[in-house]
């Protein structure tokens, strides 16, 4: 579930449309907030304003006629409609005098039962929200009304003479406000939910089309240059992308064919004269009676051979890299291939004073081509033979590695390859300085690399067996094969290609 | 043997002709595919050397046409297209052997003689003999001068290949292809090592060596 979500979140289009949905919800929220501000808030402000005007009126009355007109006014206005008041002061005898409708009823402030008087500030008038509890009568149950009030002291000559609270019943407005708030939140939530759903839907639709492109890219990478992107001719951007991709693939296909043709032509054109050269040298060598000249001619013929072999290897690597022969791979047990190699090279190793051992286990299945596999392993064994000094050891093994993958290793206790050069030696014509004195074209490991790549195997070079006496690190060349996947598409791919 | 060489490269064709004639064969030349097919139909050859890339009609189509006619003349396909898959293609079209350019003439000669012999009715033998060396293909035994020689399975196949071509040169590449089924050339002298082991078993204790190295070519089993 969590991984499905994280996968969904990785989808670009899902993220984009989700972002769009979030923006929309925020905009909706702001717009509704504005509606709230323009209606409910302005109504509350209106109440505040009229309260302020009223309190000012009381102050004016006090200034003109003292407390009597104020208390009369409060008495008259109290309880009419939605108005409620409270006036407390001391009479001439110093007794507390309370007037107004708020005095008789229970007033709740912030859920605590207290008098509003407590909230009367010392200095300026303060706004105060409270709940007025109207006790139950015979006909009606007790009622709670939300109130908006303004409280403070009326003053004469800077001296507090009476505390006053003027308030309005704002229950109706507050209820409307609640409903509006609920509407804002619920509609935002619905919008967000719909946004999520549509993001998921859109991304799913889109992903299906993108998947088609991904499959195409994988196929093309695997060497199937005849594949094309599916089109629906709607001329939307995806369709145009498909069209452009297909044009690009056509172009690449043409170039590849041209290159192959050029390669074949060069092969043909160069090989024929070189063959003649070789034949002439060989014929001359067998006919000549002078043994010294014969040696020279044979050596020249060998040089021509070397040249042609290099040329062959380059062409072969190029073809392998193009993935042309990938459809020739089949599932096979590599043991017989390695047994053959071991049998072929064991005497050769003994001959040059190397110990050859092998551990070739059964029960492996890899997707491979016998000829190419043999060539890769043979190249690696020959490399080991070439570089390991007399008295050294070479070990060939086929084992399952820690991840359960089939791994072919050729390990020696020769000079090894410094870590920094291990990637470089896999490139064409790269030879390390120490090996320049030995024969070779610098294509052996490049060929192994190309073969490994074709098999989707990993070709790695590591330290091998440490030679105890000299401290040579040795070299371990490994080919790690992917597990054989039971994927039908591969088989169908091969058939399409064949037809 | 009477051999038809279909090759558009005059110089190469002339060299092949000269070499084959020196080896005691009768050689006809055809410069293009059309003429090659015509000549192959007109006369009865013991073997054909057919270039793959030819003017007018390519080698494979000539070969396919011949096989369609029921002509079973052994054919050695010769081409610059040396990749294994193309080799397979050539053999599937009815070729008996495939040789990639550049080839050494000795290689070509060895292969032409080998396929020429293959059509020989005596090819389906169960016993091979070369001087006092005898091989029983059914019992898988080898004897020399009445003495049993124990060979490893691979050594047996190596010797079999040499004995089937007794008196003729067998190249290292041919041995790699026929005994090991490898279509690439190793850089080292692996074959030589195996030959020297075989030599140790069949020649060492005997007066006359049978297994000879032919310089610049390969090996020959001969008295």
Whether residue B116 is found in the same domain as residue B131: no
Q: What is the pLDDT of residue A489?
A: 42
How far apart are the CA of A339 and the nearest CA of chain B, in angstroms? 11
Question: Which of A274, A280, A282 is most worth mutating to test chain B (most B CB atoms within 10 A of its CB)?
Answer: A282
Classify residue A427: in a domain, yes or no.
Answer: yes
Q: What is the pLDDT of residue A486?
A: 54
Q: Left if phi > 0, otherwise alpha if psi is -120 to 50, otherwise beta: which for A471?
A: left
pLDDT for residue A427 is more than 80? no
Q: How far is B180 from chain A (nearest CA, A)?
A: 8
CA–CA gap between residue B220 and residue B203 (Å, rounded): 13
Q: Do A319 and B83 touch (CB under 8 A)?
A: yes
Residue A125 sits in which domain range?
A: 14-178
A477 and A344 co-located in one domain: yes
CB pairs under 8 A between A and B: 95
Is the pLDDT confidence value at B15 over 80? Answer: yes
Please give the residue of chain B at the shortest CA–CA distance from A299.
B216
Selected residues 310-329 of chain A with any CB under 8 Å from a CB in chain B: 312, 315-316, 319, 325, 328
Same domain (yes/no): B109, B146: no
- Asked if residue A411 is part of any domain, the answer here is yes
Are the beta carbons of A386 and B187 separated by less than 8 Å? yes
Q: Do A276 and B84 touch (CB under 8 A)?
A: no
Total domains present in chain B: 2
- For B169-204, letters b (16+ CB in 10 Å) and e give bbbbbbbbbbbbebbbebbbebbbbbbebbbebbbe
CB-based contact B9:A272 (threshold 8 Å): yes
**Is A215 near chain B, with CB under 8 Å?**
no
| Co-location of A299 and A340 in the same domain | no
State the CATH number of the domain containing residue B148.
1.10.10.10
What pLDDT score was predicted for residue A498?
Answer: 38
Residues of A in contact with B184 (CB under 8 A): 371, 374-375, 378
Q: Does the pLDDT at position B1 exceed 60?
A: yes
Last residue of a domain, one of A270, A296, A321: A321
Distance from CA of A410 to the nearest CA of B (A): 16
User: Could you write out the DSSP letters of every residue in A339-398?
Assistant: HHHHHHHHHHHHHTT-EEEEEE-S---EEE-HHHHHHHHHHHHHHHHHHSPTT-EEEEEE
Is A332 at the interface with chain B, CB within 8 A? no
- pLDDT exceeds 60 at position A234: yes
Give the percent of chain A with pLDDT over 70: 87
Q: How many CB atoms within 10 Å of residue B116?
A: 22
d(CA A444, CA A462): 17
Same domain? For B138 and B116 the reply is: no
CB contact under 8 A, A278 and B102: yes
Which residue of chain A comes nearest to B18, CA vs CA?
A: A283
CA distance from start to end of chain A: 42
Same domain for A479 and A352: yes
Beta bridge partners, B27, equal B3
Cα first-last separation, chain B: 23
pLDDT tens per residue across span A61-72: 888 888 888 888
Range of the domain at B42: 2-121
d(CA B214, CA B44): 32
Shared domain for B114 and B131, answered yes or no, is no
SS3 of A270, please?
A: helix
Q: A84 with A170, same domain?
A: yes
Q: Inform me whether the C-beta atom of residue B214 falls under 8 Å from chain A C-beta atoms.
A: no
**In this complex, do A271 and B106 lie within 8 Å of one another by their Cβ atoms?**
no
One domain for residues B117 and B148: no
| ipTM greater than cut 0.90 | no
CA distance B126 to chain A (A): 26
Per-residue confidence at A276, pLDDT binned at 50, 70, 90?
confident
Examine the pLDDT at B139 and tell me if it is beyond 70.
yes
Looking at B121, B156, B171, the residue that finishes a domain is B121
In the predicted model, is pLDDT for residue A283 greater than 50?
Answer: yes
* Nearest-by-Cβ selection for A274 from B11, B102, B190: B102
Q: Mean per-residue pLDDT for B54-71? A: 84
Asked whether residue A398 carries a pLDDT value surpassing 90, the answer given is: yes
Please tell me if residue A382 touches chain B, with a CB cutoff of 8 Å: yes
CA atoms within 13 Å, Cβ hemisphere of B188: 24
Task: Please give the pLDDT value at position A354.
Answer: 92
| CB-based contact, B216 to chain A, within 8 Å | yes
- pLDDT computed for residue A490 by the predictor: 42
Query: Which of A287, A321, A355 is the last residue in one of the domains?
Result: A321
Write down the pLDDT at residue A255.
86
Local confidence band at B38 (pLDDT 50, 70, 90 cut-offs): confident
Task: For residues B31 and B114, state if they share a domain.
Answer: yes
Return the residue in A261, A263, A278, A286 with the most chain B beta carbons within 10 A, the one to mutate for interface testing.
A286
Domain edge (last residue) among A140, A161, A178: A178
A317 plus A333 within the same structural domain = no
- How far does the CA of residue B122 sit from the closest CA of chain A (Å)? 31
The better pLDDT of the pair A221, B19 is held by: B19
Q: What CATH number should be reported for the domain holding residue A145?
A: 3.30.450
Q: Residue A72 is encoded by which pair of tokens?
A: 């009369």
Compare CB distances from A282 to B190, B193, B216 and report the shortest one's residue.
B216
Q: Is A255 found in the same domain as A174? A: no
Query: Could B101 and A328 be called an inter-chain contact, meaning their C-beta atoms sit closer than 8 Å?
Result: no
Q: Are residues B31 and B137 in the same domain?
A: no
Report pLDDT digits (tens) over B77-95. Answer: 887 655 666 677 777 778 8
CATH number at residue B49: 3.40.50.2300
Between chains, do A316 and B85 touch, taking CB under 8 Å as contact?
no
Among A51-60, A360-369, B8-17, B196-205, the range scoring the smallest mean pLDDT is B8-17
Task: Evaluate if residue A395 carries a pLDDT over 90.
Answer: yes
Looking at the complex, does the CB of residue B83 fall below 8 Å from at least one CB of chain A? yes
- Asked if pLDDT for residue A478 goes beyond 90, the answer is yes
Task: Label residue A247 by pLDDT band (50, 70, 90).
Answer: very high
Choose the weakest-confidence range: A179-183, A411-415, A492-496: A492-496
What is the value of pTM for the model shown?
0.58
Calculate how close chain B gets to A329, using CA atoms only, in Å: 12
Residue B100: burial class (beta carbons within 10 Å; 0-12, 13-18, 19+): buried
- Is the CB of residue A275 less than 8 Å away from at least one CB of chain B? yes
Q: What is the pLDDT of residue B5?
A: 92
- Categorize the per-residue pLDDT at A358 as very low, low, confident or very high, splitting at 50, 70 and 90: very high
Q: Are residues A51 and A126 in the same domain?
A: yes
What's the whole-number mean pLDDT along residues A209-230?
83
pLDDT level of residue A487 (50, 70, 90 thresholds) = very low
Residues 138-197 of B with CB under 8 A from A: 154, 180, 182-190, 193-194, 196-197
Would you say residue A189 lies in a domain?
no
Amino acid A435: pLDDT: 65
Q: Could you tell me if A279 lies within 8 Å of chain B, comparing CB atoms?
A: yes
Q: Is B55 on the interface with A (CB under 8 A)?
A: no
Residue B83 distance to chain A (closest CA, Å): 8
Interface check for B86 against chain A (CB to CB < 8 A): the answer is no
Residues B154 and B107 in one domain: no
pLDDT of B122 > 60? The answer is no
For residue A439, what pLDDT is reported? 66
Last residue of a domain, one of B121, B137, B172: B121
Same domain for A105 and A249, yes or no, is no
What does the pLDDT average to over A28-41? 87
Tell me, yes or no, whether A300 lies in a domain.
yes
Instruction: Provide the shortest C-alpha distance from residue B104 to chain A (in Å).
Output: 6
Report which DSSP code applies to B140.
T
Asked if B216 and A274 come within 8 Å (Cβ–Cβ), the reply is no
C-alpha distance from A408 to closest chain B C-alpha (Å): 19
Residue A60 lies in a domain: yes
Residue A249: inside a domain:
yes
Per-residue pLDDT, A404:
85
Model pLDDT, residue B92? 77
* pLDDT average, residue stretch A402-407: 88
Kindly indicate the confidence band of residue A269, based on its pLDDT and cuts at 50, 70 and 90: confident
What pLDDT sits at residue A112?
A: 52
- Tell me what the mean pLDDT of segment A22-29 comes to: 88
Q: If contacts are CB pairs under 8 Å, which of residues 419-448 in chain A contact chain B?
A: 439-440, 444
- Report pLDDT for A151: 82
CATH label of the domain that carries residue A440: 3.30.565.10
- Domain edge (last residue) among B121, B137, B170: B121
Same domain (yes/no): B156, B141:
yes
Query: Do B165 and B110 share a domain, yes or no?
Result: no
B-chain CB neighbours of A279 within 8 Å are 12, 15, 19, 104-105
Residues B84 and B37 in one domain: yes
- For residues B188 and B107, membership in a common domain is answered with no
> B173 to chain A, minimum CA–CA distance in Å?
13
For the domain that residue A299 is a member of, what is the CATH number?
A: 1.10.287
pLDDT at A418 over 70: yes
- pLDDT greater at residue B130 or residue A318: B130
Report pLDDT for A75: 82
| Tens-place pLDDT, residues A98-118 | 777 776 665 655 555 545 555
Number of domain units in chain A: 3
Residue A188 lies in a domain: no
Reply yes or no on whether the pLDDT at A381 is more than 90: yes
Closest partner CB to A283 (pick from B101, B105, B194): B105
CB proximity B53 to A under 8 Å: yes
């Amino acid at each position: 579930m969590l991984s499905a979500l994280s996968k969904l979140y990785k989808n670009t289009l899902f993220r984009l449309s989700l972002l769009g949905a979030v923006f929309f919800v925020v905009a909706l929220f702001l717009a509704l907030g504005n509606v709230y501000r323009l209606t409910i808030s302005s109504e509350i402000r209106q109440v505040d304003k009229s309260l302020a005007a009223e309190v000012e009126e009381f102050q004016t009355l006090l200034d003109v006629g003292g407390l009597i007109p104020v208390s009369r006014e409060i008495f008259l206005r109290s309880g009419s409609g939605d108005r409620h008041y409270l006036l407390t002061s001391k009479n001439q005898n110093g007794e507390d005098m309370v007037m107004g409708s708020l005095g008789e009823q229970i007033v709740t402030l912030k859920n605590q039962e207290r008098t509003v008087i407590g909230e009367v500030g010392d200095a300026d008038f303060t706004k105060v929200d409270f709940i007025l509890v109207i006790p139950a009568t015979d006909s009606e149950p007790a009622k709670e009304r939300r109130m908006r009030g303004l409280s403070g002291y009326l003053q004469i000559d800077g001296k507090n003479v009476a505390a006053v609270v003027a308030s309005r019943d704002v229950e109706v407005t507050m209820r409307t406000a609640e409903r509006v708030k609920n509407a804002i939140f619920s509609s935002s939530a619905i919008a967000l939910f719909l946004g999520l759903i549509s993001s998921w839907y859109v991304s799913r639709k889109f992903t299906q089309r993108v998947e088609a492109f991904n499959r195409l890219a994988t196929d093309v990478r695997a060497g199937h240059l005849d594949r094309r992107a599916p089109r629906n001719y709607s001329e939307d951007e995806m369709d145009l992308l498909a069209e452009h991709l297909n044009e690009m693939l056509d172009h690449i296909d043409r170039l590849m064919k041209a290159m192959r043709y050029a390669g074949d032509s060069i092969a043909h054109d160069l090989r024929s004269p070189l063959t003649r050269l070789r034949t002439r040298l060989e014929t001359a060598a067998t006919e000549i009676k002078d043994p010294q000249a014969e040696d020279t001619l044979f050596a020249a013929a060998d040089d021509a051979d070397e040249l042609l072999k290099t040329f062959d290897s380059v062409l072969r690597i190029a073809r392998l890299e193009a993935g042309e022969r990938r459809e020739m791979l089949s599932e096979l047990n590599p043991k017989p291939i390695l047994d053959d190699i071991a049998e072929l090279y064991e005497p050769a190793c003994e001959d040059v004073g190397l110990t050859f051992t092998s551990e070739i286990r059964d029960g492996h299945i890899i997707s491979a081509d016998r000829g190419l596999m043999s060539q890769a392993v043979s190249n690696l064994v020959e490399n080991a033979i070439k570089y390991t000094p007399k008295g050294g050891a070479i070990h060939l093994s086929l084992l399952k590695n820690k991840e359960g993958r089939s791994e072919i290793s050729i390990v020696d206790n020769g000079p090894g390859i410094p870590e920094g050069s291990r990637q470089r030696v896999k490139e064409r014509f790269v030879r390390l300085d120490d090996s320049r004195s030995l024969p070779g074209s610098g294509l052996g490991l490049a060929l192994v690399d190309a073969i490994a790549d074709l098999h989707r195997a990993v070709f790695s070079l590591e330290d091998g067996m440490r030679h105890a006496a000299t401290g040579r690190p040795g070299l371990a060349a490994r080919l790690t094969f992917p597990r054989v996947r039971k994927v039908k598409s591969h088989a169908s791919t091969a058939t399409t290609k064949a037809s | 043997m009477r051999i038809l060489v279909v090759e558009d490269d005059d110089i190469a064709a002339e060299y092949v002709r000269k070499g084959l004639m020196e080896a005691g064969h009768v050689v006809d030349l055809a410069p293009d595919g059309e003429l090659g097919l015509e000549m192959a139909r007109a006369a009865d050859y013991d073997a054909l050397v057919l270039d793959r890339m030819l003017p007018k009609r390519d080698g494979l189509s000539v070969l396919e046409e011949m096989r369609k006619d029921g002509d079973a003349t052994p054919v050695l396909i010769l081409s610059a297209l040396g990749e294994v898959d193309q080799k397979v293609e050539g053999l599937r079209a009815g070729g008996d052997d495939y040789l990639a350019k550049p080839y050494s003439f000795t290689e070509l000669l060895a292969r032409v003689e080998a396929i020429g012999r293959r059509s020989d009715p005596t090819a389906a033998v169960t016993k091979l003999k070369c001087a006092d060396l005898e091989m029983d293909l059914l019992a898988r035994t080898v004897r020399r001068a009445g003495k049993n020689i124990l060979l490893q399975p691979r050594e047996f196949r190596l010797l079999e290949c040499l004995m089937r071509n007794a008196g003729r040169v067998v190249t290292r590449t041919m041995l790699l292809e026929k005994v090991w089924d490898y279509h690439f050339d190793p850089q080292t002298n692996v074959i030589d090592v195996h030959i020297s082991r075989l030599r140790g078993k069949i020649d060492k204790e005997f007066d006359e060596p049978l297994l000879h190295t032919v310089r610049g070519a390969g090996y020959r089993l001969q008295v």
